[in-house]
Amino acid sequence: MVALVTGGGSGIGAAIARSLSSAGAALFLCGRRQAALAQLASELPGPVRFATCDVRDPSSIEGTVAQCVEGLGRLDVLVNNAGVFGPTPVEEVTLDAWDEVLETNLRGPFLFARAAWGHLRSSHGQIVNISSVAGVQGFVGNSAYCASKFGLNGLSEVLALEGKAHGIRVFSVCPGSVDTDLWVPHSEESERARMMRPEAVADLVRWLVASPRSIAVAPVVVTNFSSPFSQD
């Protein structure tokens, strides 16, 4: 199995890469920071390649999918994980900030899915979109983030429907708060200590892609048993 993980150099993406690698997958990691990708690649046992890629750049995405297939021979699982988060009251959201969130969290997964589609048709592959609980409920200060993740759930539903005819399965995973770098500017250490570990999400992804091909799974909302926040 060859899996391509966007935003694979840190947080949930790195945990997914580790989990899939330990299940025997070959990994292709991408993100903007080469050092983070190289570090993780050096720690993984199996075949692993990486490339820098900005998911806001369509030509970078086409090239990354091509590099994955050239380097590892095929593509079985696309994990659209790269994402950004920047809570801001709606009146203060600039157009640039809105565009950055929507281009990263929603347009990027669409472009990756489109670029990978032909390869996934050949492999009867799978897509896992890392959405959020913010894709099924609103959160104060998260207009752009919630819009992007609600949109990603809609995109996932359509990809799942269109994929059926080609043997492509599509999953959407919607975690509550997870202790990663995403939260460092926005939350205290004591709050982060009560969040889910990235490995919890990663092991769920590993289970989904190994699950019987006879089943489809609706968006999976996985939240904290002891959330630091009242809403999730």
Ligand X SMILES: NC(=O)c1ccc[n+]([C@@H]2O[C@H](COP(=O)([O-])OP(=O)(O)OC[C@H]3O[C@@H](n4cnc5c(N)ncnc54)[C@H](OP(=O)(O)O)[C@@H]3O)[C@@H](O)[C@H]2O)c1
Which positions lie near ligand X, rule CB under 6 A?
6-7, 9-13, 31-33, 36, 53-56, 81-85, 104-105, 130, 132, 175, 177-178, 180-183
Q: Provide the minimum distance between the beta carbon of 214 and ligand X in the complex, in angstroms, as a whole number.
A: 28
Minimum separation from the CB atom of position 64 to ligand X (A): 9
Measured from the CB atom, the residue of 121 and 192 that comes closer to ligand X is: 192
Q: How far is the CB of 115 from ligand X (least distance, A)?
A: 14
**Which is closer to ligand X, CB of 12 or CB of 69?**
12
From CA 42, how far away is CA 190, in angstroms rounded? Answer: 31
Q: Round to whole Å and give the CA distance between 182 and 12.
A: 10
Nearest-10 Cα torsion for 25, 60, 85, 117: -50
The dihedral over CA atoms of 217, 221, 223, 225, expressed in degrees to the nearest 10, equals: -60
Nearer to ligand X, 2 or 202 (CB): 202
Residue count of the chain, please give it: 232
* CA distance linking residue 97 with residue 93, whole number of Å: 6
- Paired strand residues for 78: 4, 127
Of 85, 110, 145, 150, which residue is the catalytic one?
Answer: 145
Query: Which residue number, 132 or 156, has a Cβ lying nearer to ligand X?
Result: 132
Q: How far is the CB of 165 from ligand X (least distance, A)?
A: 28
By C-beta, is 55 or 147 nearer to ligand X?
Answer: 55
Handedness of CA 63, 69, 72, 77 (dihedral sign): positive
Instruction: Write down the least CB distance from residue 166 to ligand X, Å.
Output: 25
The Cα 4–Cα 29 span in angstroms is 6
Instruction: Give yes or no for a contact between 19 and 204, defined as CB atoms under 8 angstroms apart.
Output: no
Euclidean distance between CA atoms 83 and 182, whole angstroms: 9
Whether 145 is catalytic: yes
The catalytic residues are 145
